[in-house]
Structure formats: C-alpha cells, structure tokens
Amino acid sequence: METIRKKHVIEQEEESNNNNNDDWQTIYLIKIYSATRKDLIYTAINKAYALTDFNIHNDIHKQFEFQKQTILANESLTENEKSEAIRMLTSSYVKNKIIYNKGTSRVCENCNQKCLATLYCEYCVRNYLKNNFSNWTSGNDDIDNLIQECQMKTLEPDSIIEWIPYNNLKNIKYLTKGGYSEIYTAEWIDGQFIESDSNQQQLKRLGEQYVVLKRLENVESANKRWFEEANSHLNICNRWSDAIVQCFGLTKDPLNGDYMLVMNKLNTDLRKYLQQNHNQLTWKERIQIAAVIIEALLRVHNENAIHRDLHSGNILFHFGSGKFNISDLGFCGPADKPLKSVYGNLPYIAPEVISGKYWHTYVGNFIWTTTIY
C-alpha cells in the first residue's frame, strides 16, 4: 500500500496548492514526510509486528524484544529512523504493560510507588493532573468530573484528556456537517501533552498542532447515563489510540455555549480513499484494510462498548501512518437523546435496531459487513 499512499499524498498536496484555504494541509504533509521518512518507519514497525510469532514470543516483553531486534536489523532505515521506530515501539510496549498490568515494575524515585512505565511514572502523571484540578474549570460540574475521572485513568502523557480553553484555539473553520454534528478544523496553540519531565515534575507539550472540533448538542441537558457513556468512550479512545481516533478533550464555544470535542486531525475517510484509489487497490490490500478495521472494532467490543454509527464516512485514514482509525465512538446524536432512540446512517443500521430492539455487539458486526459490501 506504500506506493498508493505516496500517490494519494501527492494528489492531496496538489489539491491543497490549488486552494488557499487548505494551505495548512500542505504544511502538515511536509511535516509528516520530512527527513525521518515516517512512511518507512511505519512500514518497518508493521513488518516487525507481522513477523512476530506469538507462540514463541508469548508475552509482551518477548514480543517487544523481538520487534526491537527486527527494527535494528532493518537495512532500509537510517540510524535516526531506527531510533524513532524503537521509540514508538517502546511507547506502545509501556502502554500495554499498564493496560494489562504485566511486566517488570520499578519504584519511582519521586513518588516511591511501583510503576510499570519506564520513561515516566504513570502515578506521577496522574498526581500532576490532580494537583492542577483547581487551576481550570469548564463551568459545568458534570463536565469537570468527567474530565477529572478520565485524567485519573491516564496511561501515558500523550493520552491525557483535558479541558481546552477556547482561546487556545485559532483559525477555526467550518469543515462539514457530520451526521448530527458540525465539524470544524482548528489550530491548537499549545498542543497536546507529549512527555513527562520527572526531574521538573512537569508535563511537556507538543506545541501548535491541527485538530478537529466536533460540536455536541444539548450537553447541558444530558442525563447521567450520557456522562457514564462519555467517560467510557473517552477512555477507550485513548487506551487504543492506534485504532480509535484520539480525543484530546473538550472545549466550549463562548458564542453559543455549545461544548465541542477536540480530536486528532486525520486526512480522509474510507469512502473517499476507496473512491480515489479504486483502480490501484489490489484485493490483498482491500482485505488488509478490512482486517485492520475489524481489529479496531474488536477492541471496542472487548471494552463492552458498541459503536452505534459505524460506516465508511467515520473510518478515517492517516497519511503518515498509513492506518485507518474508527471515529465518532459513542457520540452519535444529541446528548439528551432518549435511551431507546435510534441515531445513525440509515443504510448501515441493523433491522432489529430500527424495529426497537436493543443494541448488541453483533449489530456492530452487521454494520461493518454492510460497510464492506
């Protein structure tokens, strides 16, 4: 898929150059395809995963060591690219250690708790966030509690859910109407947290980055069940950010008081990707795409959650990683919708849901089968 991806990027760059409103996309793509050749790094990581024999390397530590050695032996990468690939592998390895509570722990030199992370301490990160609770508010106690509960489950610095002041966003532009929500693009001035400085007991930020804003309807009227579901889905987004579009937090539009999700900016959706690359895609590549999305859907179901509005328009593609991610998890329709109400893209809704029966994980399977068809 590498050749197809590069061709698609070139087409996207040409389109951006012809549209002054999309100049930031060109800049974004240049950043992705810089000297580190991110596409080759992701290809090498995917190859290392594919070569892993899970019968031989039967725990996450053995899998990590094998994958690391595979990267080091890859002659197509420069030394800097190998270092970046290993950094990314290590980040995923540490995250899995915390999620599954497996692997060797260490005593943190700052808080003296046993932690599983190596380059940071998950407890220090949570303590930093907790100590900062009094320094921000959304103006809504329920929203504050939602964000604080998510922060106390943080796995790593770059997966933190936070309250993002609206004045920390600039160049906000309407993009489209997505289902029941208006979608905007914006630049986040400070950017997400990316790492923890253990010595200074601080969290460092990425700096300016591009994001998507999704307007949420009637949050002020939302019931307890909506907040419980939002908590679950926000945590799933950040536990599995390799498969689900990452959500960085929430903000509030001061003009109308609407709350908005702040999410990672990806490049296109599955529908458009297939339309633009229909003649070049082989059946092997199509099956690989389906397998990746099935794995992402499995992660959602393993968390006892259901994607209620899965279709090709909210399966998004990232040029840099060459990966498809599921979006719109759990935020379909207004926040005050009745329990048994039906929201979604009608052609993809299972008949039993339309007839008023309960949602079940097999409904998600039905939706994905319809999407593939």
CA distance 52 to 89: 13
H-helix segments, the chain = 2-17, 23-32, 38-51, 60-72, 79-100, 122-131, 141-151, 224-239, 270-277, 283-302, 351-354, 361-372
Q: What is the pLDDT of residue 30?
A: 39
* pTM of the full structure: 0.77
Judged on CB neighbours under 10 Å (0-12, 13-18, 19+), 55 is exposed
CA distance 238 to 85: 20
Provide the pLDDT for residue 336.
45
Other CB atoms within 10 A of residue 100 CB: 11
Distance of CA 286 to the CA centre of its chain: 22
Query: What pLDDT shows up at residue 330?
Result: 56
Per-domain boundaries in the chain = 24-100, 119-264, 268-372
- HSE value, Cβ hemisphere, 13 Å, CA-based, for 288: 11
How far apart are alpha carbons 89 and 71 in whole angstroms? 9
Cβ atoms of 251 and 169 within 8 Å: the answer is yes
Regions of the chain short of the pLDDT cut 50: 1-36, 333-339, 342-343, 354, 359, 361-370, 373
pLDDT of residue 357: 53
Fold for the domain defined by 268-372:
Transferase(Phosphotransferase); domain 1 (1.10.510)
Q: Does domain 119-264 have CATH number 3.10.580.10?
A: no
Residue 174 has what pLDDT?
96
pLDDT in tens, 194-203: 999 877 789 9
